[in-house]
Amino acid sequence: MRYNILFGGPAGTGPNILTHILGEALVEQGYYVFYSRDYQSLIRGGHNFNVLTFSEHPVSSNDSEIDILVCLDKNTESLHKEKLKEKAITLKDNNSNMYFAGRVFKLLSMDFSLLDKQLKKLEKRYDENIKESKKGYDEETNKICEIKPQKIKSYFMNGNQGISQGAIKSGLDIYYAYPMTPATSVLSELAEKQIENNYLVLELENEISVINAAIGSSMTGAKSMVGTSGGGFDLMTESLSLTGIAEIPLVLYLAQRPGPGTGVATYTGQGDLNMARHAGHGEFQRTLFAPGDPKEAQELTSQAFYFSQKYKIPSIILSDKHLGESLYTLIDSPKIIESKKTNSLTRYNSYEKDSEASATEDPEIIKKNIEARKQKQQQIIQDSKNFEQYKIYGIPSSKNVIVSYGSPKGAILDAIMDLDIKFIQVLHLEPFPEIKNEIQNKNVILVENNATGMFADLIAEKTGIFIDEKNKILRYDGRPFLADELKREFQERIK
């Protein structure tokens, strides 16, 4: 059983609340739920939609075909009717999200008390919401499946909440940011919880100010973090390089969206891998981690703090809009690695510095400084091996090997279920793990959310193995991979 429900309507009509309460209710019943958000860069009007996929088995992506279409306006039906399955049900001719909540709960044979519970949690407009949803619940006469409580205890979280939770659990002291989609919800999530968890969140005039203030705070010993998307990261780049030479610990969260320029501001993509790897002038050390779900987001955020504090380097966490803003059902609690605060206020310099940290042009000292920093790189590489740098899913002995990183993981996992495929998900992009033996002499297939296949280039650089152009599954329309479509792509390529 795997159902896809699409909730669509203009911004401001509440498709998000509608999707979320159904998701929460299904998760509480022990079902696996995944939903993604497709919204435009506008505040009222336009067309936004969410696709919610649920099953009694793990789900971490949507499909292209829809079982239930919920239309908060007429536009929704005309835009999505071609995606409907043969026996699909379309709910329309009303503009109340709560009315549709009632109908959908009834369609899934969920008791009204489950909806009532969610509405109580919402608090706002409870009386009106109950009235509207009861009307919908009573009017609905169809049934597409029967939700029964499952014995699974899980939690519901998006990638940005994972980043935020990871930061809190890692002992974050100060988070600085300037709003930019799709990193903004980390800023608001962390801001909301700052008093109860006793850390500080500050929004400054731009990303340049953000990273330099974080550098100032980190100099005093505070665990400091910044978050942004591609354009903001560009602005931070010069100071990223400063953290390299001055050896100041800093965690940076980079949530990708399609660029270049303003690109497609509220959609998804993986076009910033090369920037994350190479940003900043000069030669300096960094770590780069790429979670594929909110649990990994928590774990890798804690690793970013660990490496940045221990080696006094910048650590970047690379995510994207699809991971950051989609809701996942998670079972296991994350493995958080502790990190000590290693910094204390001393003399730092953006120049190469001498023994009293004043600027120097002495060739011997310059060489010594650079070699000391380079030496650190070897220690980082060794230390990284203590961590799970990549994961293997599917059939380990298969000759068909998918390689990917980040948010495509969800659709890949859902697509490979009954195929003869091994999937390698790389978590550590810098230092890069030794995966050559895993992919050598195999039918290697790449899945990447960009146009040029940067991850394939990275693999070629690190392993000498070049992925066949025909085996590069690339999507670059701002949309995430869908499980059913991806499965067909795999079937065409497996040997």
Partner 1 sequence: MKPEECPKCKSAKIELENSEKIIWTFRECGFKGKEVGENKRTTNISTKTKPTWCPGCFNFQILAGVKKVIEEQIEKGIPKDDFAIVSGIGCHAKIFDYLNLNGLNSLHGRVLPTCLGLKVGNPDLNVFGFSGDGDAYAEGMEHTIHAARFNSNYKYFVNNNQVFALTVGQPTPTTEQGFKDKTTPLGVKVQPLNPIALMLAAGATFVARVYADVKQVEEITKEAMNHKGFAFIEIIQPCIIFHPDKGYKEKTYNLQETKHDKTNFEQAWKKAQEFNYNTLTDKTKIPLGIFYQTQKQIFEDQLPQLQELKKKNISWKDIKR
180 vs 486, beta carbon nearer partner 1: 180
Q: In terms of residues, how long is the chain?
A: 495
121 vs 340, beta carbon nearer partner 1: 340
279 vs 402, beta carbon nearer partner 1: 279
Instruction: Give yes or no for residue 337 binding partner 1 (CB under 8 A).
Output: no
CA distance linking residue 297 with residue 302, whole number of Å: 9
Residues with Cβ within 8 Å of 332's Cβ and at least 6 positions away in sequence, in order, are 295
Instruction: Give yes or no for residue 281 binding partner 1 (CB under 8 A).
Output: no
CA distance linking residue 67 with residue 108, whole number of Å: 12
Instruction: Give yes or no for residue 130 binding partner 1 (CB under 8 A).
Output: no
Q: Which of 215, 380, 435, 473 binds partner 1 (CB under 8 A)?
A: 215
> Is the four-CA dihedral 434, 436, 438, 444 of positive or negative sign?
positive
Q: Check: CB of residue 286 under 8 Å from CB of residue 313.
A: yes
Q: Check: CB of residue 65 under 8 Å from CB of residue 2.
A: no
Four-point Cα dihedral 379, 300, 456, 242, nearest 10: -60
**415 Rama sector, left if φ>0, alpha if ψ -120 to 50, beta otherwise:** alpha
**263 Rama sector, left if φ>0, alpha if ψ -120 to 50, beta otherwise:** left
Kindly list the distances between the CA atom of residue 61 and the CA atoms of 20, 86, 108, in Å, as whole numbers in the listed order: 16, 21, 20
Considering the complex, what minimum distance in angstroms separates the CB of residue 215 from partner 1? 6
Kindly list the distances between the CA atom of residue 229 and the CA atoms of 226, 253, 278, in Å, as whole numbers in the listed order: 11, 8, 16
Instruction: Give yes or no for residue 195 binding partner 1 (CB under 8 A).
Output: yes
Instruction: Give yes or no for residue 113 binding partner 1 (CB under 8 A).
Output: no
Instruction: Give the containing element (helix H, strand E) for 67.
Output: strand 66-71
Site string for partner 1, 285-324 (x = CB under 8 A): ----------------------------------------
Considering the complex, what minimum distance in angstroms separates the CB of residue 397 from partner 1? 44
Considering the complex, what minimum distance in angstroms separates the CB of residue 314 from partner 1? 15
Q: Check: CB of residue 234 under 8 Å from CB of residue 260.
A: no
Q: Which of 65, 173, 484, 485 binds partner 1 (CB under 8 A)?
A: 173
152 vs 208, beta carbon nearer partner 1: 208
Considering the complex, what minimum distance in angstroms separates the CB of residue 216 from partner 1? 2
Q: Which of 10, 15, 171, 232 binds partner 1 (CB under 8 A)?
A: 171
Scanning residues 144 to 163, which ones bind partner 1 (CB under 8 A)? none
Identity of the residue numbered 111: D
Considering the complex, what minimum distance in angstroms separates the CB of residue 286 from partner 1? 18
Q: Which of 78, 142, 220, 382 binds partner 1 (CB under 8 A)?
A: 220
CA distance linking residue 104 with residue 69, whole number of Å: 10
225 vs 439, beta carbon nearer partner 1: 225
CA distance linking residue 16 with residue 121, whole number of Å: 15
Q: Check: CB of residue 102 under 8 Å from CB of residue 138.
A: yes
Site string for partner 1, 356-385 (x = CB under 8 A): x-xx--------------------------
Q: Return the range that interacts with partner 1 (CB under 8 A); candidates 118-126, 199-207, 364-372, 404-412.
A: 199-207
Residues that bind partner 1 (CB under 8 A): 171, 173-174, 176, 194-195, 198-200, 202, 204-206, 208-210, 212-224, 238-239, 242, 246, 341, 343-351, 354, 356, 358-359
